[in-house]
Structure 1
Amino acid sequence: MNAAVEPSAASPVPEAKPRRRRSARAASEHLPVRIGGMEYARTASTPTRVLGFDQALIWACLFLLSWGLIMVYSATIAMPDNPRFARFGPNFFVYRHALWICMGFVAALITFQVRMDWWEKAAPWLFVVALALLIAVLIPHVGSVINGARRWISLGPMNFQPSEVAKLAVLLYAADYMVRKMEVKERFFRAVLPMGVAVGVVGALLLAQPDMGAFMVIAVIAMGILFLGGVNARMFFLIAAVLVVAFGLMIASSEWRRERIFAYLDPWSEQHALGKGYQLSHSLIAIGRGEVFGVGLGGSIEKLHWLPEAHTDFLLAVIGEEFGLIGVVCVIGLFMWLTRRIMHIGRQAIALDRVFSGLVAQGIGLWMGFQAFINIGVNLGALPTKGLTLPLMSYGGSAILVNLVAIAIVLRVDVENRQLMRGGRA
């Protein structure tokens, strides 16, 4: 009787329920993934987490800022030995540079809180403000003259350069303009000509300072946004040809600009080595001394009053001397990655039907990439000497501040992209 009641040891019945419980519990802990055919593999269910901002972009910018701060200190520590800078201490320039970076961080944090639709509404007014500043800098006793150029407005102990604000203002205005003219973008006189007139007015004010480098950057930003906004290819090449001819006429009509071109072609000649080719020849000497691995941080000789503007326009030459080919390649690689990443964020915004935000981000990518390209080309002797700083690295207060504001706008575009992709509202 007992044997009839007791279950058999081989019977699967008592084990069926526990096995079903275990399999249900396992199914809740693992997700099936097809490998091939009828086979499945089980993977642990790890929760996905979408970051609210682009950490890699932030770290790249912080690295460039930190490296730039170190190199500005290295390039300026001996400047008080020069009678021209005798009133400054050895830490004067690095402290000033660090102060501008801190101010830039504050401005970037404030900018990051501003929604992109506000920038779209404010773009025309910001353009008007930029024009007013470019006019104000030309007024005597308002604009400060340094090295023969009237490009700065004095703000007590600091100088502010309106052309840096103009780059951002023209960028925002061009993006807003293309969104408004999207329906007539195939018509030259209704879509392209008004934007060309606006850029021409800005260019005339910049050339009066004179600041041809800033005009080149602004022209490339505007032309790039027109192209990315969908302007007809024939019109784009027509605009490019007009700009090339215009810059050629500017160079041909200016004796000192012609001398720069001739000095670029032969910087080692007796005529140019101590004149217009002096900066380029000493930049090449500095980079040549660095060879592959450099002479070490702080070991540069060219920065000891041989290379003019070593902390601004020719900071890369000091990097090349102290860190060698490795350092120069790292700088080029960082700016290539930075430009590519910013352009990707812009394309992502356009794919989400946020055309203004996408054009603004891509315009900032063009700005950073083109200005870095010009500065690196000048330092390496691949391009004629032009007074453009290396973004995020060179000494220059207003440039650093506006660069950080521009990066904050890109991060805002990225955050709004991520919010839309998560199903929220930008």
Structure 2
Amino acid sequence: MPNFVAGWFAPKEAEAAGALPVRLGGRGSFSASTTPAQVKGFDQPLVWVTVALLLWGLVMVYSASIAMPDNPKFTFYSHTHFVTRHAMSMMVAFVAALIAFQVPVQTWERLAPWLFVVSLVLLILVLGVGRGVNGAKRWISLGVMNFQPSELAKFAVLLYASDYMVRKMEVKEHFFRAVAPMAVAVAVIGLLLLAEPDMGAFMVIAVIAMGILFLGGVNARMFFLIAAVIVVAFGLMIAFSEWRRERIFAYLDPWNDKYSMGKGYQLSHSLIAIGRGEIFGVGLGGSVEKLHWLPEAHTDFLLAVIGEEFGLVGVVAVIGMFLWMTRRIMHIGRQAIALDRVFAGLVAQGVGVWMGFQAFINMGVNLGALPTKGLTLPLMSYGGSAILINLVAIAVVLRVDYENRQLMHGGRV
């Protein structure tokens, strides 16, 4: 029997065929289906944008790091060392993302407090046995890769804050009962991160927690009070830290002789790279700044190399992809909340806040709009643990979308 019985069928014939009569525009229309509706398992455009960012990032990591072995510091590395490690990290992250997608959102909700505790333990551990790089102890060596606990902390705080808001939904209008415990948890994480030091990760975690509290329905006046307290706290940290103050002064005037060869060196060469790219860039592989002029070109300042080699067009394309991704993830979160899946919705929107804010900070630093901060460009910059946790977070969002689709088509999760 065909899927749809045409509207010109006689009512009795249609009823005999098993169709239900519907009146449309004064005419009888009948439809029947012998097969269930087809449900797409996940948001395919979101997957393809993620894959595009990953592959473009892989190409740019190779381009930005190919000349690094010419530096005496990396003389024993091959020209493909960084891109090979990055590709291996992507494969490990892809397997982890596939596993994460299989985990129901309800299970993530049960695991949230435990993951938060694990992240705390690792942040304490890294202060003792962590591997130091440029004066910061942020990595735990696992042999095949260096794991950065602060990346796991972002994901753990995201889950914990979402679970916390669901549990505190009835008292969200009461500041001390609803907000104070979460503020204490974030403060503990912050103290551990500042001890590494890693102020950039602390900023991202604070914004994730604040975003989830706001999206969870915390009183607006309380939210702005929290925001003001955090801004004042960061201001005091900068005021009482000489090297952080120097970064701010260098950001305000990177061309000053006092800063151009010191704190303002990265920013000034990032601006030179983007300026050389003009509209269409100098071409893939043609960057000059990556030839030992721009430090961390394959990590924090990857966008500067993109700007030099692909020009304004490339930078706008990257910004557009992250903007679309953030908007799409937020839409998935709103959809989950509309289906009365508050935890799932807050998790998805938290990932959107995370990806959008970190990309915004990294881009702002590269373009000279924000002070220099050690934050990578999500999904694109070199870094095994960052790629791993970013893909797991995207996989959880895809799981939220998958369960949304199942519910909207009459299924169960």
- In the superposition, the TM-score normalised over structure 1's length comes to 0.90
Aligned counterparts of 1:32 and 1:388: Cα–Cα separation in 2 = 60
SS state of the match for residue 282, structure 2?
coil
Aligned counterparts, 1:383-398, within 5 A: 383-398=370-385
Residue 230 of structure 1: CA displacement?
Answer: 0.4
- Residue 365 (structure 1) aligned to one of 334, 345, 352: 352
Higher alpha-carbon Rg: 1
User: 1:282 maps to which residue?
Assistant: 269
- Tell me if 1:245 matches 2:232: yes
- Residue 273 (structure 1) aligned to one of 238, 243, 260: 260
Aligned counterparts, 1:185-224, within 5 A: 185-224=172-211
Residue 34 of structure 1: CA displacement?
Answer: 9.7
User: 1:423 maps to which residue?
Assistant: 410
User: 2:71 maps to which residue?
Assistant: 82
User: 2:365 maps to which residue?
Assistant: 378
User: 1:50 maps to which residue?
Assistant: 39
Aligned counterparts of 1:290 and 1:20: Cα–Cα separation in 2 = 66
Residue 157 of structure 1: CA displacement?
Answer: 3.9
SS state of the match for residue 362, structure 1?
helix
User: 1:125 maps to which residue?
Assistant: 114
Residue 322 of structure 1: CA displacement?
Answer: 0.3
User: 1:152 maps to which residue?
Assistant: 139
Aligned counterparts of 1:41 and 1:339: Cα–Cα separation in 2 = 42
Residue 134 of structure 1: CA displacement?
Answer: 0.3
- Residue 61 (structure 1) aligned to one of 29, 50, 55: 50
- Residue 92 (structure 2) aligned to one of 89, 103, 123: 103
User: 1:15 maps to which residue?
Assistant: none
Amino acid at match of 1:120: E
Q: Check whether the contact 2:333–2:346 (CA below 8 A) recurs between aligned residues.
A: yes
SS state of the match for residue 391, structure 1?
coil
User: 1:336 maps to which residue?
Assistant: 323
Q: Check whether the contact 2:254–2:264 (CA below 8 A) recurs between aligned residues.
A: yes
User: Once structures 1 and 2 are overlaid, which stretch shifts more, 112-121 or 240-249?
Assistant: 112-121
Q: Check whether the contact 2:39–2:406 (CA below 8 A) recurs between aligned residues.
A: no
- Residue 112 (structure 1) aligned to one of 92, 101, 116: 101
User: 1:9 maps to which residue?
Assistant: none
Q: Deviations over 1:121-161 (max 9, x none)?
A: 1111110000000000001xx11110000111111242110
Q: Deviations over 1:153-179 (max 9, x none)?
A: 111242110000000001100000000
User: 1:91 maps to which residue?
Assistant: 80
- Tell me if 1:233 matches 2:226: no
Aligned counterparts of 2:72 and 2:48: Cα–Cα separation in 1 = 39
Amino acid at match of 2:257: E
- Tell me if 1:137 matches 2:129: no
User: 2:278 maps to which residue?
Assistant: 291
Aligned counterparts of 1:222 and 1:60: Cα–Cα separation in 2 = 26
Amino acid at match of 1:418: R
Q: Check whether the contact 2:266–2:294 (CA below 8 A) recurs between aligned residues.
A: yes
Aligned counterparts of 2:354 and 2:215: Cα–Cα separation in 1 = 14
Residue 52 of structure 1: CA displacement?
Answer: 1.2
Identical-pair percentage = 77
Aligned counterparts of 2:373 and 2:23: Cα–Cα separation in 1 = 59
Amino acid at match of 1:248: G
Amino acid at match of 1:337: W
CA RMSD of aligned residues (A): 2.3
Aligned counterparts of 1:281 and 1:419: Cα–Cα separation in 2 = 51
SS state of the match for residue 210, structure 1?
coil
Q: Deviations over 1:95-117 (max 9, x none)?
A: 00000000000100111110111
SS state of the match for residue 190, structure 1?
helix
Residue 216 of structure 1: CA displacement?
Answer: 0.1
Q: Check whether the contact 2:190–2:202 (CA below 8 A) recurs between aligned residues.
A: yes
Residue 39 of structure 1: CA displacement?
Answer: 8.9
Change (3 A) 1:218 1:20: closer
SS state of the match for residue 138, structure 1?
helix
Aligned counterparts of 2:157 and 2:145: Cα–Cα separation in 1 = 24
User: Between Structure 1 and Structure 2, how many residues are aligned?
Assistant: 401
SS state of the match for residue 152, structure 1?
strand
Amino acid at match of 2:292: H
Aligned counterparts, 1:289-328, within 5 A: 289-328=276-315
User: 2:169 maps to which residue?
Assistant: 182
